[in-house]
Amino acid sequence: MEAVMKLAPDKPYPGANLVAEALVWFARGEGINRAVAAAPKQTDAMKLAGFLVPYGFRTDTALTSGEAMRRAADSPDVELLLVDVRCQKPAVKTLVQEMRADARTHEIPVAILTTHASRLAGPVVLFSPPDTPLDQQTAYDLLAPDNPFAHSLAVTYPMPVDARGTRWMLDDLYLKTSTRPADPTVRLLQGRRALGWIREAVERAGTPDGANVYAFEDIDNLVTRATASATLFFDGVELAAVVPSARMQALLAELTAQPVFDIQTRQFVAQRFLSSIDKHGVLLRGKQVQVLYDRYNASKDQPGEVQRLLAALLDAVEEKTFDTENRYRP
């Protein structure tokens, strides 16, 4: 990926769409430990997610195998999937096959959980009886040595009911799959570099001689997601400044007004808003501009430096949008 981006191609080429997709996927890496827990009932999925809290996982829940697949493929930070064998749409067997066929998920270890544990080795813990005969039969099928579904990164376990069972399951899963969670700092570095490469590609496409080599789908949502992340915030703001869209200018204005940020951060964001206005003109229209006035008028009780910051945004907008009679043109 790095070699391709260093070449900085000036025209579209075969496979450019795959590079764009990969960059967007890597750009979602926040450097946190993520997992997915799937079960047919929300209470069961939440319980599984709770078992992973002591191990530092931020766990998303899913009620179907298809939803679990989408969540696992959504972020390079996902390190683990716990799935109740009773999950459907599709069956768990199909889920694992689909995961192994997808480059985004093919290395994620999967713990397939069943309430029937008579053929499983492990610590002595209590298990609930299986809900249906299908649960027992499915567990037997998954455990069969000659099962073509068997995979080195998918292991069947009894449903954990306490911290001890969860610890044993995780240790055994990592041992049998020969995997360990990737270093979060590496994933964060990859995410930041991907955002930087996307920004450079967007900037090149905006120059007179530049070509739109990469089609980044839904880039506004990617930027919004990055600016909502503590680890990718500043990289997301930098990208927002070069994307020519009203939504991005509105986002930068909104972040500038957020009191949760210190004044230095708000000044940083405001400078990127002014840069966007200078480069792309005012893309905000109607109600989006009115929001800027409302925020400024509501800032009368805030510190002077905040008022001046919000006034600077309005000054930039007015300079570009007022006609000679000093009337705003929406």
Contact yes or no for 296/311 (Cβ under 8 A):
yes
- As a whole number of angstroms, the distance between CA 123 and CA 101 comes to 33
Contact yes or no for 309/266 (Cβ under 8 A):
yes
pLDDT in tens, 120-178: 433 333 233 334 444 444 444 444 444 444 556 888 888 888 888 899 999 988 888 88
Q: Cite the DSSP H helix spans in 109-245.
A: 133-143, 163-177, 184-205, 219-227, 233-240
Would you state the structure tokens that stand for residue 60, as one six-digit string? 């998303």
| Domain containing residue 164 | 34-177
Q: Which of 177, 203, 224 is the last residue of a domain?
A: 177
Residues 170 and 42 in one domain: yes
Q: Which of 177, 207, 240 is the last residue of a domain?
A: 177
* Closest CA relative to residue 109, chosen from 163, 164, 36, 56: 36
pLDDT in tens, 195-246: 999 999 999 886 655 568 888 888 999 999 999 999 999 999 999 999 999 9
Residues 173 and 197 in one domain: no
Count of domains forming the chain: 2
Contact yes or no for 169/15 (Cβ under 8 A):
no
Residues 250 and 117 in one domain: no
Q: Which strands form 110-114's sheet, in the order they lie side by side?
A: 58-62, 34-38, 78-84, 110-114, 154-158
